[in-house]
Structure 1
Amino acid sequence: MSAIEHFVLLARYNADMNRQLYDAAAQLPAGELTAARKAFFGSLAGTLNHLLAGDTIWLKRFSRHPADFPALQAMRDLPQPSGLTHTFSEELPVLRAYREQLDAIISAFASQLTQADLAHAFEYRNTRGDAYRKPFGLLLLHFFNHQTHHRGQASTLLTQAGVDIGVTDLLLWVPDL
């Protein structure tokens, strides 16, 4: 598998896992989505909002790559989150609709990558305004790893609430030889 195929696989895994996560969250009784759970982002809704904020921030950054990825053009019109704890909504259907929109953009974006894009030295500023210059391919790897990390937290919160999210191992998405 090429590096590009890896990112396409990660985009598919990301979308499938997010569907699984939101399906599981939909099983929660009323009020449980926003219940305080002593999690880093407070509640399951807080964690889902953080994932959306982080993805939006990174995708908006990625939309400034010189390759001018057509899939990321839609990101330019979306509002910039106020920060990593930005609240888009506390209603699951609203969060899910935005999640599905982002996942479609991510999947299309992954299919537009080239090896040259991955090698590009990408310049960006973090949410505090600090400037960085890093290999674009490694920033993409961080992007997908960040999602997996916080989906793991969300999965734990769901398990603690008595909802089984199901199998989450990337291994099941890796094709057999």
Structure 2
Amino acid sequence: MKVKSHFVLMADYNQWMNHNLYKGAGKLTETELSQSRGAFFDSIIGTLNHLLVADTIWLKRFAGHPDSFVALDYVRRLDSPKTLNERLYSRIDVLHEARSTLDACIVAFVNELTDQALSSTLQYQNTKGDVFAKNFGLLLLHFFNHQTHHRGQASTLLYQAGIDIGVTDLLVHIPNEAA
């Protein structure tokens, strides 16, 4: 199995999980979504905003790759978030629309990847301005792992609010192979 196919799988899983997460979140009122729940990003809407913020920050970094991925043109036009807890959108319907657009961008982006790009080094700055040079494929792995981490938090917060979003395992997206 080629490395690129792993990222294609992760992008598909990411899009599917976000769809399920927002479908569940859409059953709650704006008050319930904004209610402080003692989570790292305070509320369900705060956690969902963080995911969009962090994904935007990383995708803007990826857009600086020498391969200049066309699928990231959308991201290049976005404003850069200022903080990791920035509240980009307070309404779930608007946040969901932005999430869906970004997820489609991620799917298109990973389909442009090459083995050469994945083994290259990406130089970027973090939000504090510190400069790093790291393996691009491993940064992409971190990108998807970070999403999974915070979606787990969001799904727990939804469950505590009485919303079960169903199966969340990557396993359901790994295709069966002939014996």
For normalisation by structure 2, the TM-score amounts to 0.97
* Distance change >3 Å, CA 30–CA 51, structure 1 → 2: closer
Does the 8 A contact of 2:37 with 2:43 survive in 1?
Answer: yes
Classify the secondary structure of the residue corresponding to 1:132.
strand
**Which residue of 2 is the match for residue 79 of structure 1?**
79
**Which residue of 2 is the match for residue 141 of structure 1?**
141
Does the 8 A contact of 2:118 with 2:137 survive in 1?
Answer: yes
TM-align CA RMSD: 0.7
For normalisation by structure 1, the TM-score amounts to 0.98
Note the C-alpha offset of 1:29: 3.4
Question: What is the aligned-residue identity percentage?
Answer: 55
Q: Which amino acid aligns with 1:44?
A: I
Note the C-alpha offset of 1:77: 0.8
Note the C-alpha offset of 1:30: 4.3
Aligned pairs for 1:89-128 (under 5 A) are 89-128=89-128
**Which residue of 1 is the match for residue 64 of structure 2?**
64
1:135-164 CA distance string (max 9 Å, x none)? 000000000000000000000000110100
* Distance change >3 Å, CA 49–CA 170, structure 1 → 2: same
Does the 8 A contact of 2:34 with 2:43 survive in 1?
Answer: yes
- Unmatched segments (≥5 aa) in structure 1: none
Q: Aligned equivalents of 1:152 and 1:63: distance in 2?
A: 27
**Which residue of 2 is the match for residue 170 of structure 1?**
170
Does the 8 A contact of 2:121 with 2:135 survive in 1?
Answer: yes
**Which residue of 1 is the match for residue 40 of structure 2?**
40
Q: Which amino acid aligns with 1:99?
A: R
Classify the secondary structure of the residue corresponding to 1:134.
strand
Q: Aligned equivalents of 2:78 and 2:29: distance in 1?
A: 31
- Unmatched segments (≥5 aa) in structure 2: none
Classify the secondary structure of the residue corresponding to 2:134.
strand
